[in-house]
Every structure is written in C-alpha cells, then in structure tokens.
C-alpha cells in the first residue's frame, strides 16, 4: 500500500496542473450482508446459486461482496485520493438474490449503510449517485412516477442533492446539477433502469418519467449556456461484450439515446456507466463515421460470477478507478484503474494495486473521442494489444486467450452502440479478414450490406 500511495503522490505532483482535477468512479458494489466464512459450502452466501468452496475472509468469486471487501475498498480510496473533486457512484448496491429475500426495507437499509460508509470516509466530498437496477423492490421495476423508494433514497442522499434535484429525483430518480465549484460544467445523472428490457412497467411507454424530454432540455440549455457536461448512470446503452447480441435497453430507447448524444455531442465531454462489472468503453459516431463521444464502463467492486447463460469466466476482480480531467473543458486527461486480486488476498496478501493507466496502456494522449478512436484502431490491428485489453476487461481475472469470436464480440460492442449496426459489424467481421477498416469505410460497407438484401 505504501508503494501505491507513493506512486499516486508522484503522479499528482508531476502531472497535475492547476486546472486539472481528479474524481473517483465506483460501481456495482452488490453487498451481500449474509456472507460468512464457513466450511459448509451451502451456507457461505445467498448470492451464489452454487455451493461455495474455500470461502475466504475477503469473499469468493461466486459471491457478491462482503463487508470486509467493501470496507477496505472505500477506506483504500480515502488513502489513495482523500480529497477528490467529486465521486461518481453508479449503483447496484444489493446482492443477487430473489426479491423474496429482500423487500423494500432491506433495499433501503443496504443503500443507507453504504451511503453512511462513503460519507464517513469522504465527509466533505460531493457524490453524484445513481440507482442501479438492483436498487429497487421488486428489482428492475422502476416506475416513471413518484415512489416511496425514490423519496426515501432522496432522504438518504439529502447532503448530496441540491433542492432543485429532489423534484426530479422523487419523480423518476434522475437529476442534474452544476459540477461542484464550477459555473460552466454540469453533471447529469440518469435513471436508465427505466429503459431496461426487464422493466415491464415501461415496455409501451415512449418516454418514462419524461426523462428524455428533460435530458434534451437540459442539454439544450447547456448549449445555450456554453456548458460542458458529464452524463452518468447505471445501465448503459449498446451491447454486452461478454455475450453476443446481449443488450439492456429496449430498442426504441437505445435509438433515442444515441440520437440525443449525436445531437448534443458538442457539450458532452464524457459518459460514465456500470452494470457490466467489466472494464470497457464505447464509441459514438456521427452519420459520417467520425468519433463524437466516448462512454467509459467501470468494473464492479463485487467479484460475483454472472449467471447469464452463455457467458464463460464471468467473474472479475474488484476494481475502482480515478479519472484526471481538465476542469475547464472536462476532457478526460487520464484514467487509473486499481484492482484487488481476490485469490491473492484470500491467500494472505490483501492489497489494492494499480492495474493500468489509460495513457500508458492504450498509448493515447487523453480520453477524448479522437484519442479513443486511436485506441480502437490499436485493438483492431494488434492481437497482443487486444489480449491486454481482454485481461483488463475482467480486471485480471480471466486471462484466457481472446480468440476470433471473442475479438468480434469485443470490437463490435466497442464500435457499435446501435443494435442494427452491431449486427452488421458481427456479420462483416465473421466474413472478413483482420484488415482494419475505418468507421467511414465501415459505414460504406454496412450500406452495401443493406443494399444487397434489397437487390436479393
């Protein structure tokens, strides 16, 4: 830990100028309060559907995070960067258990306990917090109208929410505020759980809670006011890189979100989401194929191995990250991702370590759309670089070889947030060589692909 603290001190002193800042992004804590170390494999944790062998003090890959892991995570954050400009906390706090094992009171108690821990370690830090799809009862079923969970969560987060934010939060769990200490910078916190395919309440609703209309109005005002904006939330648009054609948004919601990003990209300096438990990013392009936006997907603190059918090696080591950003333009200057090797910790060496930096690992100047397009090129052209990214994707848990199909899944998920273009990408990549094509050429090939169907 002393070595890591020294590294961060050198990084801060050597590379942070007066107009650069730093913030934490954490996601998917998934606290399992009933985790216990026992020789009975059926009694270790209710968040696992399988018997758990070798339960350790710091948890197990089949289980959600226990309190020891969560506690050391938040306190380590306080040691590494005790005074961040702010914290992004993008939700999913409760364990992967059936609704019958939770209830509204239990959900709120878990959110409250985690809120209290973060406030204890960061008493003077602004936290922009979003609800995850598990932070509700019944899970996933977020309504587009007032609800007691919205009201009570707003009370738990009262010290973090401005009065103006409470009105929209209690209506639909979304809000927007000026970035703390700034006049021309803004944070938008979305409730994308409203758009989830598992949310039965909003299947036939065009704009649940009026969030899209509100988002467009907020971004339009940002254009007028010459603001720069970060957008954050839990469920991301696009597709899951660990399972082909797996998406979270309903198609019409996904398309609407992309249209909004394309329309207002000039003021959107970054997007930050979670849910996947993996470390990845997504590109957004305009109609001519030029990169206009980047979405960073944070790894989870829980190590829980997903039960999603078709996903192999679906666990991860716990991960947290710090972003460096330009306080004026809000361009991401660098990103440091730290990880906790759970197997090593349970063997007697619990320690958070630096896994990689964005600039060092991807060879980019910063986290801007143009730079991250170079990172996409880098992944596309070099299998060794793709393998490195793949190792980072599970926070150094799954170190298997990323084969041909793995490459398609990851490259197409990164490049194509639109569902139809993603499927075109998969078809093209399966039938083509590994020669890289630029987004503009890919667009042309996609059009030719569609025209071929019309001719036939």
Spatial neighbors of 241 by CB under 8 A, at least 6 apart, are 276, 278, 280, 393, 409, 410, 413, 414
Q: Rounded to whole angstroms, how far apart are CA atoms 391 and 333?
A: 23
Nearest 10 degrees: Cα torsion 110, 114, 119, 120: 110
- Residue 272's SS3 state is strand
- Report whether 92 belongs to an annotated binding site: yes
- Total residues found in the chain within this entry: 456
Cis peptide before 138 (omega within 30 of 0): yes
> DSSP secondary-structure letter at 354?
E
Q: What is the largest CA-CA distance in the chain?
A: 66
Q: Tell whether 277 is in a known binding site.
A: yes
Tokens of 274: 């979670």
Q: Which residue has the tokens 């059936």?
A: 98
Residue 275 marked as a ligand binder: yes
Could you tell me which of 194, 266, 201, 276 has the C-alpha nearest to residue 239?
Answer: 276
User: Are the C-beta atoms of residues 105 and 164 closer than 8 Å to each other?
Assistant: no
* Chain-centre distance for alpha carbon 395: 13
Q: Is 133 annotated as a binding residue?
A: yes
Tokens of 54: 């070798």
Residue with tokens 């082909």: 244
C-alpha distances (whole Å) from 170 to each of 163, 177, 191, 263 are: 11, 15, 11, 28
* Contact present, 319 and 287 (Cβ < 8 Å): no
Name the residue among 288, 187, 295 with its Cα closest to residue 249. Answer: 295
Among candidates 57, 60, 59, 55, which has minimal Cα distance to 39? 55
Task: Return the closest-CA partner of residue 208 out of 228, 193, 186.
Answer: 193
Task: Give the three-class secondary structure for 38.
Answer: coil
Convert 219-244 into a string of H (helix), E (strand) and C (coil).
HHHHHHCCCEEEEECCCCCCECCCCC
Annotated binding site for Zn(2+): 28, 30, 92, 133, 234, 275, 277
Annotated binding site: 28, 30, 92, 133, 234, 275, 277
């Amino acid at each position: 830990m002393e070595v890591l603290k020294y590294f961060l001190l050198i990084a801060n002193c050597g590379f942070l100028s007066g107009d650069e800042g730093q913030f934490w992004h954490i996601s998917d804590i998934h606290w399992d309060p009933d985790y216990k170390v026992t020789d009975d494999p059926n009694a270790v944790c209710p968040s696992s559907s399988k018997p758990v062998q070798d339960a350790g003090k710091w948890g197990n890959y089949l289980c959600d995070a226990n309190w020891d892991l969560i506690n050391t995570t938040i306190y380590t954050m306080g040691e590494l960067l005790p005074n961040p400009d702010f914290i992004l906390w993008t939700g999913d706090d409760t364990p992967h258990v059936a609704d019958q094992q939770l209830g509204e009171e239990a959900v709120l108690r878990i959110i409250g306990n985690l809120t209290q821990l973060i406030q204890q370690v960061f008493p003077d830090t602004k936290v922009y917090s979003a609800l995850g799809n598990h932070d509700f009862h019944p899970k996933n079923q977020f309504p587009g109208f007032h609800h007691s969970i919205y009201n009570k969560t707003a009370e738990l987060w009262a010290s973090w929410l401005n009065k103006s934010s409470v009105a929209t939060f209690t209506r639909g769990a979304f809000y927007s505020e000026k970035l703390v200490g700034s006049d021309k910078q803004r944070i938008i916190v979305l409730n994308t759980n409203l758009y989830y395919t598992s949310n039965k309440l909003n299947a036939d609703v065009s704009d649940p809670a009026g969030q899209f209309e509100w988002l467009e109005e907020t971004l339009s005002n940002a254009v007028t006011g010459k603001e720069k904006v970060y957008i954050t939330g839990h469920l991301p648009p696009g597709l899951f890189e660990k399972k082909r054609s797996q998406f979270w948004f309903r198609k019409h919601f996904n398309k609407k979100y992309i249209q909004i990003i394309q329309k207002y990209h000039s003021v959107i300096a970054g997007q930050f989401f979670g849910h996947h438990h993996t470390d990845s990013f997504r590109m957004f392009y305009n109609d001519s194929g030029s990169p206009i936006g980047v979405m960073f997907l944070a790894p989870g603190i829980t190590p829980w191995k997903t039960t999603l059918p078709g996903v192999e090696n679906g666990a991860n080591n716990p991960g947290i990250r710090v972003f460096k950003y330009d306080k004026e333009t809000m361009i991401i200057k660098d990103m440091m991702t730290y990880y906790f090797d759970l197997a090593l910790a349970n063997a007697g060496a619990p320690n958070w370590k630096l896994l990689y930096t964005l600039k060092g690992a991807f060879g980019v100047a910063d986290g801007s759309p143009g730079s991250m397009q170079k990172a996409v090129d880098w992944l596309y052209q070099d299998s060794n670089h793709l393998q490195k990214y793949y190792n980072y994707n599970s926070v150094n848990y799954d170190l298997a070889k990323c084969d041909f199909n793995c490459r398609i899944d990851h490259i197409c998920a990164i490049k194509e947030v639109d569902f139809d273009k993603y499927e075109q990408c998969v078809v093209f990549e399966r039938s083509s060589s590994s020669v890289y094509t630029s987004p503009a050429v890919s667009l042309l090939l996609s059009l030719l692909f569609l025209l071929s169907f019309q001719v036939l």
